[in-house]
């Protein structure tokens, strides 16, 4: 249960309440549905998407078509990590290019860059990020925060935290300007996940763990879990219990490592499959 209502949600609710243009209203509802998906309120998001499909069938709109495809793709990615997620987001991108809807080109390109990060396609990731940042207006914080977060994660995962830090800061700045607590939560979670994974990977090669790095990773894991609860982000709640044992692994004795493994495996099993959980641990944005 959220302890706070995001400024994004407040802004959208206020705009929806005062909108007099039916198509503007539909697009605002679609934007709100995307936020609900990222929050983890999947049933509510699906209900809005179904309602908007009816609106689109009755009065077709390029902008609403883009929002619907983007919503469907992100919902598929967050819930199933399915192959159709990319297809739907690619369709959103193609429609936005055809209609020259620059804000939607930027947003859909940023989401495609995230999927490239998930799949490890770095050349495509670089192209998508460049396009997203080029097409996004200076005040289009949603697209810029997502693009910057993907860039930060890519550098961080590649072992270049020095290059990742400025991108993490840009992502945070844009998210805070937007009032988007979910992107801040995603930033904290993903940074903690990557820190823990890199410490664990180093321990496999018998690299002596750095005490300060371990303390920082544990602090990041605890902070991420607390902030996740604060904003009510149910979509990533199952991943939070994995963070602490993941960070404790490098300094643990062999029996303790077995306990960490069992705890991680239990959480993975709860998410339906080890492959899905490993993929989520590496890549969640929140999501984004």
Q: Give 176-189 as a DSSP string.
A: HHHT-HHHHHHHHH
Mean pLDDT, range 57-74, rounded to an integer: 96
pLDDT > 70 fraction of the chain, expressed in percent and rounded: 68
Q: Looking at 41, 71, 100, which one is the last position of a domain?
A: 100
Q: What is the DSSP letter of 120?
A: T
Mean pLDDT, range 88-100, rounded to an integer: 97
Q: Looking at 100, 124, 145, which one is the last position of a domain?
A: 100
Looking at the domain assignment, is residue 158 inside a domain?
no
Ramachandran angles phi, psi of 153, nearest 5°? -65, -40
Condensed to tens digits (0 to 9), the pLDDT of residues 141-158 reads: 999 999 999 999 999 998
Q: Cα(67)–Cα(88) distance, rounded to whole angstroms?
A: 10
* pLDDT recorded at residue 232: 60
* pLDDT recorded at residue 209: 61
Q: Cα(150)–Cα(281) distance, rounded to whole angstroms?
A: 15
Is residue 273 within 8 A of residue 178, CB to CB? The reply is no
* pLDDT recorded at residue 80: 83
Looking at the domain assignment, is residue 153 inside a domain?
no
Looking at the domain assignment, is residue 186 inside a domain?
no
Q: Cα(280)–Cα(81) distance, rounded to whole angstroms?
A: 8
Condensed to tens digits (0 to 9), the pLDDT of residues 228-272 reads: 665 666 555 556 666 665 665 555 444 444 455 455 445 444 444
* pLDDT recorded at residue 49: 97
* pLDDT recorded at residue 40: 87
Looking at the domain assignment, is residue 141 inside a domain?
no
* pLDDT recorded at residue 93: 98
Nearest to 224 by CA among 194, 269, 267: 194
Q: Residue 279 above 70 pLDDT?
A: no
Of 67-71, 116-120, 163-167, minimum mean pLDDT range: 116-120
Domain tally, the chain = 2
Phi-psi group of 61: left, alpha or beta (phi > 0 → left; psi -120 to 50 → alpha; rest → beta): beta
Which of residues 1 and 172 earns the better pLDDT score? 172
* pLDDT recorded at residue 213: 66
Looking at the domain assignment, is residue 110 inside a domain?
no
Q: Looking at 100, 126, 143, which one is the last position of a domain?
A: 100
Q: Cα(84)–Cα(77) distance, rounded to whole angstroms?
A: 8
Locate tokens 């609106």: which residue? 55
Looking at the domain assignment, is residue 145 inside a domain?
no
Q: Which domain holds residue 61?
A: 1-100
The whole-angstrom distance between residue 173's C-alpha and the CA centroid of its chain comes to 16
* pLDDT recorded at residue 57: 96
* pLDDT recorded at residue 226: 62
Of 144-153, 179-188, 213-222, minimum mean pLDDT range: 213-222
Looking at the domain assignment, is residue 2 inside a domain?
yes
**Which pLDDT band holds residue 282 (cuts at 50, 70, 90)?**
very low
Mean pLDDT, range 112-131, rounded to an integer: 95
What's the token pair of residue 19?
């909108």
Of 64-68, 106-110, 245-249, minimum mean pLDDT range: 245-249
Looking at the domain assignment, is residue 119 inside a domain?
no
């Amino acid at each position: 249960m959220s302890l706070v209502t995001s400024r994004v949600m407040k802004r959208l609710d206020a705009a929806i309440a005062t909108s007099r243009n039916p198509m503007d209203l539909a697009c605002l509802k679609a934007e709100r549905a995307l936020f609900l998906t990222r929050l983890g309120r999947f049933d509510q998001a699906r209900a809005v998407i179904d309602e908007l499909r009816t609106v689109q069938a009755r009065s077709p709109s390029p902008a609403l078509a883009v929002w619907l495809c983007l919503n469907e793709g992100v919902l598929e990615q967050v819930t199933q990590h399915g192959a159709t997620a990319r297809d739907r987001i690619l369709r959103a991108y193609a429609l936005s290019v055809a209609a020259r809807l620059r804000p939607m080109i930027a947003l859909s390109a940023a989401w495609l860059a995230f999927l490239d990060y998930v799949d490890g396609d770095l050349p495509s990731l670089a192209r998508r990020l460049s396009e997203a940042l080029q097409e996004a207006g200076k005040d289009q914080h949603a697209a810029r925060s997502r693009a910057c977060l993907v860039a930060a994660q890519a550098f961080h995962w590649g072992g270049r935290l020095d290059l990742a830090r400025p991108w993490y800061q840009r992502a945070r700045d844009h998210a805070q300007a937007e009032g988007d607590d979910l992107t801040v939560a995603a930033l904290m979670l993903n940074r903690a996940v990557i820190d823990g994974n890199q410490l664990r990977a180093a321990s496999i090669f018998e690299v002596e763990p750095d005490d300060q790095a371990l303390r920082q990773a544990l602090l990041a894991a605890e902070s991420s879990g607390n902030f996740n609860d604060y904003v009510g982000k149910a979509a990533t709640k199952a991943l939070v219990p994995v963070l602490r044992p993941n960070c404790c692994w490098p300094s643990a004795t062999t029996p303790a490592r077995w306990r960490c493994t069992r705890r991680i495996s239990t959480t993975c099993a709860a998410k339906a499959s080890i492959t899905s959980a490993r993929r989520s641990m590496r890549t969640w944005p929140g999501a984004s």
